[in-house]
């Protein structure tokens, strides 16, 4: 599934259908953002990737500039979830995270037929996700020494 928006090329691919190059680029961008940039050594790659859909945005030149993974019900929560949302530093501030979040919600609603999405958001991003309809449903907690909060988007 590919589609062009704002000169970016968007795709949503299940792990089983990722090419070796796509997988490498996903791991490289996520490690760059979550491990190096956030100075947080943790097991970034996990078994959940194998059961997930991976949403990617590529520049016209073919560089991966944004990524996220969609986790099916029962993998992290009883609801569908998404996480590992990352935008390359040089592409931030251009609305890509908003577009990515809209694509995540749309895919989950239309393809996975779920009207509830539960995420674990870094606290500083709670306001961003609230703009997309998510509500805080937990107290703040530490995940890999970074403050997080559980959030839920529900059509009910």
Q: What is the reported pLDDT for 97?
A: 96
Residue 138: inside a domain: no
Q: Express each pLDDT in 81-138 by its tens digit.
A: 999 999 999 999 999 999 999 999 999 999 999 999 999 999 999 999 999 999 999 9
Residue 46: inside a domain: yes
Q: 66-104: b or e for each residue (b if 16 or more CB lie within 10 Å)?
A: bbbbbbbeeebbebbbbbbbbbbeebeeeebbebbbebb
Residue 132: inside a domain: no
User: 99 is in which domain, residue-wise?
Assistant: 2-114
- Write out the H or E segment, with its range, that includes residue 29: helix 20-30
Q: What is the pTM of this model?
A: 0.91
**Residue 6 binned pLDDT confidence (cut-offs 50, 70, 90):** low
Nearest-5° Cα angle at 66, 121 to 15? 85
Are the beta carbons of 51 and 15 closer than 8 angstroms? yes
Residue 86: inside a domain: yes
Residue 130: inside a domain: no
Residue 72: inside a domain: yes
Give the count of domains, the chain: 1
Residue 136: inside a domain: no
Residue 30: inside a domain: yes
- Write out the H or E segment, with its range, that includes residue 97: helix 96-110
Instruction: Read off the CATH number of the domain in which 27 is found.
Output: 3.40.630.30
Q: What is the reported pLDDT for 5?
A: 52
């Amino acid at each position: 599934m590919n589609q062009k928006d704002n000169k970016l090329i968007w795709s949503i691919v299940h792990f089983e259908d990722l090419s070796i190059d796509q997988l490498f680029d996903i791991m490289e961008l996520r490690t760059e953002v979550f491990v190096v940039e956030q100075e947080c050594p943790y097991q970034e790659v996990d078994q959940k990737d194998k059961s997930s859909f991976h949403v990617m945005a590529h520049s016209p030149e073919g560089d991966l500039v944004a990524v996220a993974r969609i986790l099916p019900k029962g993998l992290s929560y009883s609801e569908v979830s998404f996480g590992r949302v990352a935008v390359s530093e040089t592409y931030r501030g251009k609305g890509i995270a908003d577009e990515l979040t809209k694509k995540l919600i749309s895919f989950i609603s239309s393809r996975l037929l779920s009207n509830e999405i539960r995420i674990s958001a870094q606290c500083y991003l709670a306001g961003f996700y609230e703009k997309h309809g998510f509500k805080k449903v937990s107290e703040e907690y530490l995940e890999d020494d970074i403050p997080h909060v559980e959030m839920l988007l529900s059509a009910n």
